[in-house]
Structure 1
Amino acid sequence: MIVVVALIVLLPFAAAAAGLLATRLGTRNLGARAERVAYRRAAWFAIAPGAVSAALTVWLAAALAGRTGASEGRFWSELLPGRVEGTLTVVETGSVPISLTLRADGLSVLAGILVVVVALAVQVYSVGYMRDEPRYPSYSAFVSLFTSAMLLVVYAGDLIVLYVGWEVMGLCSYLLIGHWWEDRANSRAAVKAFLVTRLGDVGFLFGIFVLGTAAGGFRIDDVLRADIPQGTLIAATLLMLAGVAGKSAQAPLHTWLPDAMAGPTPISALIHAATMVAAGIFVVARLYPAFLAAPPTLDVLGVVAAVGMLGTALAALAQDDLKRVLAYSTISQLAYMAAALAAGSDRAAMFHLVSHGAFKALLFLCAGLVIHHVGSNLISHMGGLRRALPVTFFP
């Protein structure tokens, strides 16, 4: 079954490689048809592997639901009691070893279903939305690469493996926000997102180093079972909280997300509403026993969440750009998830993570239709669209 987990992660990666390297092979002599051929190939490379990955994820969920005896005392063990884990190899570093490990349990499959379903919906939506875009092949390839990186975060059984996916997500975010790099505002927004999230990731990486050194290994199970002194645990989780704040756009590292709306609307739906920004919440849930053993860290998380849920909700009231309103709403909703974790309820946090990923992705995709129809992002230019866009209006 671990082979299925590996395929779920690797299929979008293979799609990204094919999209970057194979979409224009043999098209040099096709003249005007070259762009159309490349476009169709890119669409197939984007959608077909994503659909297979989604089908395998559903199969994996059904297989884990039929297993018993792997309960960890967390609510996702009640939903999907099965668990599978496999190590490809162990890298000896001279001190703390790194294991290339994948694991699938209720939590990872729950998040994995959200990732593959939203990613597949965005790829299908983008085929029409980006029809006249000459750089669609690279766009769809970067979406596939992001999907693979997010799935690696979800299914990682080792903190270093998780960090690799974490950083590749950041790279894809930068590339996709700056897709229309000719516009200086877009390129500046991409650089800002990259630098702000990297600032948080410095703390995140040092937090991983502290946890791994104290536990004698980077495997998540080893870290959670290790008898780590509370002072060390508090320092490590506080450092990791910096990365969580960066990726999940929480105060004071939230400023990049509203500007990131400069990217194509489907990317806003996939990365900056449904999946990437949820990665920080997911990591806290994955390491939740360690965070529970560090009450000061949860206190800090609670304060950050309180500031975020109120401050950004008020900021949204002053916006006229539809996508920026949804961006501030996203920050506020992520703060509710962080508040649930700070209050001791991973059940509430993960329930809202999945529900928010679904409805916010739908909101952004509908916003894309409205913006495309109106020709403007400004709410003051919109109105009376019930008759013009009835299918968009009712959802």
Structure 2
Amino acid sequence: MIGDILSGKGDIAIGDMAITKEREEYVDFTVPFMSLGIQILYVRPSKPVPVFFSFAHPFHPEVWLWIGISYFTVSVGLYVMARVCQPEWDNWDRCIKQPKYFVNQFHLRNSFWFVLGCFMQQGAEIAPRATSTRILSSFFAFFILVIVSFYKAQLAASLTTEKLELPFSNAEELVKRADKLGITYGAVTNEATHKFFQRSKDPVFSQIGDYMNSHPEHMAEDAFEGSVKVLEGNHAFFMESVTIQYAANVVCEFISVGERLDERYFGIALRKDSGYRNRLSSAILLLQQKGVIDQLQRKWWEEALGSKLCKEPPPDTVAPPLTLHHMAGIFWITIVGVIFSFVVSFFELGVDVYHRIGVDKKIFFREYKKEIKNAFNLSKTIKTVAPNSVSLENLDVNE
């Protein structure tokens, strides 16, 4: 088109013509009517195959680790706490009116089973009796409620959105990975994009220009030929962003990769010192102020295609796995719940000893220490009862 103006065949050239220094030496341009830049045209990757452990994606591995630690800690804590609390010791057989010993329903296996039931939100056939064990169970149930709520929300988001796994995300990555991945790249020969890379001082862009010069077989005569090369696979094509946008709206296999590599503008070319230049520039500015140019772009880039318009998928909005930074609050609440439950359990034990012993401090503290020692003697699994009483007054701990 520049040649037609210079030869006198035309007065005005309108098209996807970028304003460059070289062209301005021969023709005049109006003010820009559209901004653009160089981007990469590539074929849209196929949907990724779900990984085997995709169900674990909602949480970061460190969160899963701390969930496991929480389960173990609460289970062991419940086991020890139940040994401290007198209400958890009970007659193992209701048919026996005068039992010789009491057993604790929360032995180690039952403690883990009960907490697992809470974890699965299914419960268990046993239930805590003491205030402290109930408090601990309530804190852990709240912990599970929050964890499950977060898990469901994250899992739903990860299943309804898919992340496009592109082999590269910008020009620098393309240059680094091209040989390894077997990807070629090019542009339209001797056009503005090609010359941009040839003359660039940027190391990456200069390397791209050298590659294009040494591999003319990957270059194209026009944008259509370059698009065909992209569709054939393993080929990236550098071209104007607005052209890529239109191509991606028409051919759903196309996708633009990365940000603009430069900033350039389209303008209307005229003969040198043409009298139409100022008039056309004023008209373009007026259309821009009224939003007509943007409206026309939407009309021809999108609305004119109608049902043939390729629906652009939502951007990569796959939520990253929740880390410990997001979940720290609920873990701290659980830790506070465990500590508070232990405090209540020791208080419960003191109340029970007080009811049996009375106000004598010396005897009270001696009996209290004895109960604590017996509770932490994990080899003892039963509490014997005096033959003539089923009360806790004469309890002693035996194997």
TM-score category (smaller protein): under 0.3
Determine which structure has the larger strand proportion and give its number: 2
Determine which structure has the larger helix proportion and give its number: 1
If the length of structure 2 is used for normalisation, what is the TM-score? Answer: 0.25
Larger radius of gyration: 2
Higher relative contact order (CA 8 A, sep 6+): 2
If the length of structure 1 is used for normalisation, what is the TM-score? Answer: 0.25
